[in-house]
């Protein structure tokens, strides 16, 4: 493994542990030349998964696109990057277990919205407003009404459980 500081090609593994719920191995390494410590991640090389976009074109699945979309939607919200990483991991795991080689971007978008609805309502609304390309205020109002109803039913079930 090439050292990020001096580009020396030999390093030794100082520590290894599982990451991302066992899907990845995190390794702490030390350069044998300059003794800089750095972290690497090892994951299974998955078969390429193609995303069928709305216009019919295909592109390779990118978890980074999902992560970046959620980051933009969660700006200035109390949503941690580890929570976003967990959401992205869950979405990727669902896609890879349910689809062999191709998946629709609509499926991915709906999975993201389902996860964000549970994570943070404002992040969900921000993501949905871009993803769904609302045509008018009535569509946004309908979405907000759905969220309001879900929050009220959660609160009611929480109150019922404490009684």
Q: Name the pLDDT band for 148 (thresholds 50, 70, 90).
A: confident
Cα dihedral 136, 58, 42, 89 sign = positive
Q: For 7-63, what is each residue's pLDDT tens digit?
A: 999 999 999 998 877 778 999 999 999 999 999 998 877 678 999 998 999 999 999
Q: For 88-119, what is each residue's pLDDT tens digit?
A: 999 999 998 999 889 999 999 999 998 998 89
CA distances from 128 to 58, 72, 78, 107 (A): 22, 12, 18, 14
pLDDT of residue 162: 61
Cα dihedral 81, 85, 91, 92 sign = positive
Mean pLDDT, range 117-134, rounded to an integer: 85
Q: Name the pLDDT band for 152 (thresholds 50, 70, 90).
A: confident
Other Cβ atoms less than 10 A from the Cβ of 84: the count is 22
Mean pLDDT, range 138-156, rounded to an integer: 80
pLDDT of residue 16: 92
């Amino acid at each position: 493994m090439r050292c990020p500081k001096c580009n020396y090609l030999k390093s030794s593994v100082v520590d290894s542990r599982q990451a991302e719920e066992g899907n990845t191995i995190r390794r702490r390494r030390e350069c044998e030349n300059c003794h800089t410590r750095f972290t690497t991640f090892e994951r299974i090389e998955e078969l390429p998964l193609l995303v069928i976009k709305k216009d019919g074109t295909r592109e390779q699945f990118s978890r980074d696109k999902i992560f970046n979309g959620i980051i933009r939607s969660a700006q200035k919200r109390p949503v941690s990057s580890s929570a976003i990483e967990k959401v992205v991991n869950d979405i990727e795991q669902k896609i890879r277990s349910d689809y062999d080689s191709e998946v629709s971007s609509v499926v991915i978008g709906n999975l993201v919205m389902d996860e964000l609805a549970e994570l943070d309502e404002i992040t969900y609304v921000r993501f949905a407003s871009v993803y769904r390309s609302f045509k008018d205020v009535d569509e946004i109002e309908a979405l907000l009404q759905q969220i309001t109803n879900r929050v009220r039913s959660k609160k009611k079930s929480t109150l019922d459980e404490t009684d």
